[in-house]
Structure 1
Amino acid sequence: MNTLLITATDTDAGKTVLTTALAAYWQKYFPQRSWGIMKPIQSGIGDREWYQNLFTLEQSAQEITPLYFQAPLAPPLAAVQENRQVDLAVVWQVLSELRSRRDFLLVEALGGLGSPVTEELTVADLAAEWRLPTVLVVPVRLGAIAQAVANVALARQTRVNLKGIVLNCVQPRSDAQIADWTPPDLVQSLTNTPVLGCLPYLENRTDLDKLAQVASNLDLERLLS
């Protein structure tokens, strides 16, 4: 597997943190192998600029984000404001070209699995149609178990190749809070999906050594196989 789609239960769940951590890990431990990052569709300033500032990527801005809209809205709504269309053929072409030139490609989805990509398709539909191995980020907070169950059900319905779940501390969380709000055994039991680890809250998300370290604590063998 040389491509991994990082999606989540919803916005601000931790997709960017996990993507950054995996990129830092790959850069640190596999310096001789090529890798890349994609944010296929972006609405408003955000992740593309983050990756450009944090990493030296041998990719053009269009190769990082083939479709870029100004308004921070769902792509079909942002496209209407600019009298444009969400042209997935452009995204697929860039994705295919990058995969052919990279040993490993991280693809950060927009929003959650149920987020609209076009007026007809969600992130889950795209992950399934393009056969992208996928990891689901679940934030450690009240209500997260129900979100995990619902999103895994959507993944199954659309036949997404879901590799597992990664929990993410969106705020500082104690071990007791993690155990109370997102107990890994219960999440695994209810979703029948492996929990591959938990990312701690990171105050400094530009510390690449620390990011690589927290990524190494995940079950990477299962995630990247």
Structure 2
Amino acid sequence: MISDITTAPSLLITGTDTEIGKTIVTTAIAAYWQTYLQPDNPTSLGIYKPIQCGSGDRELFQRVLNLDQSPEQITPQYFDAPLAPPIAALKAGQEIDLGLLWQQFNQLRSQKQFVLVEALGGLGSPLTNEYIVADLARDWALPTVLVVPVKIGAVGQTIANVALARANKIDLRGIILNCPIADQTEAEIADLAPIDMIESLANLPVLGRIPHLQPQDREDVTKLAHAATGLELVRLGL
């Protein structure tokens, strides 16, 4: 799969691992778009999660955001088992169709002003037995942002994913910190995810931080949009 474009009105939101806040960041940015950037045309933004294994993400997008997309338009390939895509597909007696994912992505882009693409797992997560998220980011020529959870290991996981991005010549625009742990002090956050160290080692900017959001706040468009106000979204193309 080789992309025939060099730029795209889109952004890939990936992370250092699974369950680290990609969906929260995606939803917060989408809520910001709908609330502040295009309040008169909120459905001008598209949400795309090419593959989903297990319920959760696209259901949240449909429940919380003002979208005019069907479940299949958000996620063309959906598997019940919460496992890596090639394993979940095998258990369902199906295969990952990379051509379908690319086709549906282009169709969505032709209908929207901007498309947020949420990756599955980190850049090293497998989409097939031979293809990982980093391959997709490269082949689709997707500007990319890396979500990093504020917890032990944040620096090392960041540097590993940045190295993978550079090895694949991915257009990695920067890093967004996400706070998955409640009641962290500013001092604790600084110790776990020191911005100066991350920026120095990664040679990339930290574009802001999403605060910890309680489960009910993740369902509130106003609070989600406010959580994204501290992000440098212009540098991400929005």
Q: Give the TM-score band, short-chain normalised.
A: over 0.9
Aligned with residue 57 of structure 1, among 63, 67, 76 = 67
2:23 is equivalent to residue 12 of structure 1: no
Contact 2:64-2:220 at 8 Å conserved across structures: no
2:143 is equivalent to residue 133 of structure 1: yes
Aligned with residue 73 of structure 1, among 83, 93, 96 = 83
What is aligned with 1:208?
Answer: 221
2:35 is equivalent to residue 28 of structure 1: yes
Query: Aligned-pair distance for 1:56?
Result: 3.0
1:144-223 → structure 2 map (5 Å cutoff): 144-172=154-182, 173-203=184-214, 204-223=217-236
After the TM superposition, list the runs of 4 or more consecutive aligned residues in structure 1 that deviate by more than 2 angstroms.
none
Alpha-carbon displacement from aligned partner over 1:139-167 (angstroms, at most 9, x marks no partner): 00011100000000000011111110000
Query: Aligned-pair distance for 1:32?
Result: 3.2
Ranges in structure 2 where 5+ consecutive residues have no aligned partner:
1-7
What is aligned with 1:117?
Answer: 127
Alpha-carbon RMSD: 1.0
Q: TM-score, normalised by structure 2?
A: 0.92
Secondary structure of 1:188 counterpart = helix
Query: Aligned-pair distance for 1:83?
Result: 1.7
| In structure 1, C-alpha distance between the alignment counterparts of 2:204 and 2:132, rounded to whole Å | 21
Is 143-152 or 203-212 further displaced after alignment? 203-212
Is 106-115 or 207-216 further displaced after alignment? 207-216
Give the count of matched residue pairs.
225
| In structure 1, C-alpha distance between the alignment counterparts of 2:77 and 2:131, rounded to whole Å | 16
Query: Aligned-pair distance for 1:174?
Result: 1.2
Q: TM-score, normalised by structure 1?
A: 0.97
Contact 2:20-2:178 at 8 Å conserved across structures: yes
Paired letter, 2:206 = V
Contact 2:65-2:221 at 8 Å conserved across structures: no
